[in-house]
Amino acid sequence: MTDAAEPLTTMEFHPQPQPGEAQPWAFPAPDRGTLPNGLTVLRCHRPGQQVVAVEVSLDAPLDTEPEGLDGVATIMARALSEGTDKRSAEEFAAELERCGATLDAHADHAGVRVSLEVPVSRLLKALGLLAEALRAPAFADSEIERLVRNRLDEIPHEMANPGRRAAKELYKQLFPAELRISRPRLGTEETVSRIDSAAVRAFFEAHVRPATATAVVVGDLAGVDVDAVLAETLGDWSGDSGAPRPVPAISGDDSGRVVIVDRPGAVQTQLLIGRVGADRHDRVWPAQVLGTYCLGGTLTSRLDRVLREEKGYTYGVRAFGQVLRSAADGAGASLLGISGSVDTPNTGPALDDLWKVLRTLAADGLTDAERDVAVQNLVGVAPLKYETAASVAGTLADQVEQHLPDDYQAQLYVRLAETGTVEATAAVVNAFPEGRLVTVLVGDAAQIEEPVRALGIGEVTVVSG
């Protein structure tokens, strides 16, 4: 009933309840071993997780792609599931789906990752198919030609996406052109069109072998003889031994500047602000995770508190630290960034507010209350975040690729809990210094250029969309 005079609240109110006693939870420790063929295997039993996740990490980072063939790692990764010595591409896809499985592969700066998910009842069959793909991919001319054409067709779609377009520009701005990391992960029209089956096979032969690969297997493995399953499948993959590979030095130019990628008529401006950050091995990492969360981890963080919840300029702006390459000696790099979309007329005011948030943070620091809530969230959500097999497997495989110990994530939670307000403040202020940020804006230059210029956050250039 909608009587305007009715009291607004008629219920019985109770004080906010106090939490019960926390249950212990720890990030799972995997069992690490090596198969006779040299393949490293991490396994982890997660009761109740009926869909098993398998992640295979191949030591084939993008910087090993031959000159002028950017994208060959991606085409190789995709071609792994396009036929083997025993099955055509269509037959392989059909067999895999008959298992109720999904198989994805992608190439990134740290290496190639192949991800399998399958109900545990069909694990043996699906792992057999995965092993077949790694051991004897067909790389048929016709399939590679098709994948190359398909990849070329994808490029205009990615260019049209404001977020992807912004990222492409930021990497180009931040890193010198000769570094692989400055260029699109999946290659350009020019480089992709040069790729053929010979190039794919050569890349495969140079970089894919069990001795430099790691398989992570996570799920409810209670009823599975994992040793026998592995011996029959991935254990049957052979290859020579490989040498450890140094991570190339990464340098970047983060002098403060603004690049507008012109999109006439765009109703929003996609913003991506970034700079080069430290390797994940750096001791600052836990404090930086904490401080970055306080700056822009969620809609109650500093950025959204102003840009979204006070001003309504955006659906949400996030700050993040993303590992690009990580090396045991700390020579790797990460991307520290802030991203989101703001409506076109408010682009100038939104950036003005964003910079004010950074300046206020640098001047006054984080509060103890902010730090406490951030720790409680980051540490507290761990059991939720790692409920599924796929999430656990993904993190374990990331650690392997990033040359981190198997207990890194578990230790990270300990470090986060120990990190104080002062440390977190210092880390985030150093991560996002207002004068050393490269700002990429994908939007309508005619409308946003002047207001952005007026902010004085760096030289402004406009490039075509």
Partner 1 sequence: MPMGHTATAQAGSGGLTATEHRLANGLRVVLSEDHLTPVAAVCLWYDVGSRHEVKGRTGLAHLFEHLMFQGSKQVSGNGHFELVQGAGGSLNGTTSFERTNYFETMPTHQLELALWLEADRMGSLLAALDEESMENQRDVVKNERRQRYDNVPYGTAFERLTALSYPEGHPYHHTPIGSMADLDAATLDDARAFFRTYYAPNNAVLSVVGDIDSARTLAWIEKYFGSISSHDGKQPPRDGSLPENIGRELREVIEEEVPARALMAAYRLPHDGTRECDAVDIALTILGGGESSRLHNRLVRRDQTAVAAGFGLLRLAGAPSLGWLDVKTSGGVEVPQIESAVDEELARFAEEGPTPEEMERAQAQLEREWLDRLSTVAGRADELCRYAVLFGDPQLALTAVDRVLGVTADEVRAIAKARLRPDNRAVLVYEPVSADPQAESAQDDQTDAEDGADQ
Q: How many residues of this chain interact with partner 1, rule: CB under 8 A?
A: 113
Cβ atoms 247, 429 nearer than 8 A: no
For residue 44, the minimal CB distance to partner 1 (Å) is 14
- Which range of residues in 178-186, 196-204, 221-229, 246-254 is near partner 1 by CB under 8 A? 178-186
The residue (of 9 and 241) whose beta carbon lies closer to partner 1 is 9
For residue 172, the minimal CB distance to partner 1 (Å) is 8
Cβ atoms 252, 174 nearer than 8 A: yes
**Following DSSP, what letter does each residue of 66-103 receive, concatenated?**
PTT-TTHHHHHHHHTTS-BSS--HHHHHHHHHHTT-EE
Give residues 396-435 in contact with partner 1 (rule: CB under 8 A).
none
For residue 210, the minimal CB distance to partner 1 (Å) is 26
436 makes contact with partner 1 (CB under 8 A): no
Out of 258, 272, 287, 428, point to the residue binding partner 1 (CB under 8 A).
272
For residue 244, the minimal CB distance to partner 1 (Å) is 27
Residues 59-88, mask of contacts with partner 1 (x by CB under 8 A): ----------------------x-------
Out of 31, 86, 141, 150, point to the residue binding partner 1 (CB under 8 A).
150
Out of 87, 113, 135, 168, point to the residue binding partner 1 (CB under 8 A).
168
List, in order, residues 6 or more apart from 281 with CB less than 8 Å away: 326, 327, 328, 329, 330, 332, 403, 404
The residue (of 251 and 300) whose beta carbon lies closer to partner 1 is 300
156 makes contact with partner 1 (CB under 8 A): yes
Give residues 275-334 in contact with partner 1 (rule: CB under 8 A).
298-300, 304-305, 308-318, 320, 322
Q: Which residue(s) pair with 322 in the sheet?
A: 335
Residue 11 is classified by DSSP as S
Question: How deeply is 249 buried, as exposed, middle or buried, from its count of CB atoms within 10 A (0-12, 13-18, 19+)?
Answer: exposed
49 makes contact with partner 1 (CB under 8 A): yes
What are the strands of the beta sheet with 314-325, ordered from one edge? 314-325, 333-343, 268-277, 438-443, 257-262, 459-464
177 makes contact with partner 1 (CB under 8 A): no
Count CB neighbours of 375 within 10 A: 21
Cβ atoms 297, 284 nearer than 8 A: no
Helices (H), 85-188: 89-98, 123-135, 141-160, 162-174
| Amino acid, single-letter form, for residue 57 | S
The residue (of 38 and 163) whose beta carbon lies closer to partner 1 is 163
Out of 34, 86, 141, 149, point to the residue binding partner 1 (CB under 8 A).
149
List, in order, residues 6 or more apart from 429 with CB less than 8 Å away: 291, 361, 362, 365
For residue 387, the minimal CB distance to partner 1 (Å) is 5
Q: Which residue(s) pair with 337 in the sheet?
A: 274, 320
Give residues 363-392 in contact with partner 1 (rule: CB under 8 A).
372-373, 376-377, 379-384, 387-389
The residue (of 63 and 236) whose beta carbon lies closer to partner 1 is 63
For residue 166, the minimal CB distance to partner 1 (Å) is 8
The residue (of 206 and 267) whose beta carbon lies closer to partner 1 is 267
Give residues 181-220 in contact with partner 1 (rule: CB under 8 A).
183-186, 188-190
Residue 109 is classified by DSSP as T
- Which range of residues in 90-98, 227-235, 281-289, 454-462 is near partner 1 by CB under 8 A? 90-98
The torsion defined by the Cα of 172, 174, 178 and 180, in degrees rounded to 10, comes to -70
Out of 90, 141, 253, 329, point to the residue binding partner 1 (CB under 8 A).
90
The residue (of 458 and 465) whose beta carbon lies closer to partner 1 is 465
3-state helix, strand, coil split of the chain in percent (to 5) is 45, 20, 35
340 makes contact with partner 1 (CB under 8 A): yes
Give residues 96-125 in contact with partner 1 (rule: CB under 8 A).
96-102, 117-119, 122
8 makes contact with partner 1 (CB under 8 A): yes
Residue 179 is classified by DSSP as S
Reference 163, options 7, 66, 271; nearest CA is 271
